[in-house]
Structure 1
């Protein structure tokens, strides 16, 4: 019996890693924001890698099965050993692909100015995605309904050729990459960005003028009430800034307030726990984490440095 060799599963892991990189840089490409690595994405890849190593060492949750897809030769000679890693990596890759599609859809919806360059880009991109979808459907249908047919090997070769076209598309049709370089994203999305910058400025003014961030239980609903701005507008404005979420936005201003208190000699008469409470934090742990993330040192180290 012939076993799936070590590099066979590596191709799937490399494919997932390429999807992860595409996801990380999709927002940088389309929205001009610094790439961020979500912890869940790191967890997904590490899980795929761990399952692969476990399967390679002989530890399995799912028993090995015969490969049901005709690879171009006798199907009874091939057994899937890395079934756990294959199943998890396949479905997680589908999720990552959906996230990329969502980012792309959000970016395209933000185009307020439809130029010839943006229309060309959308046409090329639609054609490229159509090739990917057709290739996937063709592979699944041919192997499901024609795997016992005499032409199954020919269909397998054809699906591989389509896969090569998918990967070589930017080189076969160089206009695809050229259409991206000709896009002026700041011009296409300028009106939305300006609106969101105005909204963030308004939110900052509301929260600082009344020092609302000093309330430990200050919430998004309260922000809506005080600013007279919808929750979606608040989220979009914060999302387009360097803040990860509304809580990070609040903690930023709380840390700024804590720094001002330290500079004014607050710690000469009070403890750091009191400082966290007077800065609007619910717990000292959250205060320490937020302070260190923003100032790259602890409150005590910052205070000592100022002496």
Structure 2
């Protein structure tokens, strides 16, 4: 059993290292690739224990293993957020929260060395550090899984939807199972190590296949095609004209909770076909971006009108279909490069 578990552990290490090396050239093209390489390196560090056997406490390899193991859940959460963030960069507090899975256990280890005490002699403090960090890890991984499911609905690229949700979903479930077995219940089973590393090997092979065998941009957005404006006078299919008419004339983008499923039922067009039309003919990869085009256009027109000057920007944003001022400001600035207030001042 030991030989088989070490075999799979060595294979896992090689697959992670190979994945990181092959992705290295794309670091400048996409921030998520850099984080994904970091995730692979954390995975390599996690495997140091089965590769080198029992590690001498406080040795360099022990520290590398400890840091990688603690950083892995937070790094996975950041990768998930970035994959599903599209163009919107996660905020600094996201990185701060993710770092807590590493910082808290590391500080506890360092304090034991400096003050020469055993954490187990202080049950309350031990429980707070151990189970607090464990709870944070499970919350972050669960949130990553929820975000994957939630954002899959607005992704208009069918192949990318399945790949992203599958990769994030399987990795999240795997990490949760390992955390529960190893850290929460401390289960001991004869074939447990072999099964764990064999499943990891299978998952890494699938991820490497998805990354390097499928078309570029399936998991990471390397290059996003230029969107075609829905108002551009181009030859559209009859089905797409119906979609554009319901936006321009019926203003369905203003309806609260408008989703691709709701629009599909309203038009009587299958959801798969609807995604294909908006993505294939207009190059939109995200349904919210499609809706926001009309919302921002409406607000921009009102901001430029003298008679609408007294209306607060928040009122205009909510009336157009946005759910919050922050999301509106971000989308507006992405399009015009200035804030709504600055836009209003320039046109009045």
Bigger relative contact order (CA 8 A; separation at least 6): 2
TM-score by length of 2: 0.42
TM-score with structure 1 length normalisation? 0.46
Q: Could you say which structure has the larger radius of gyration?
A: 1
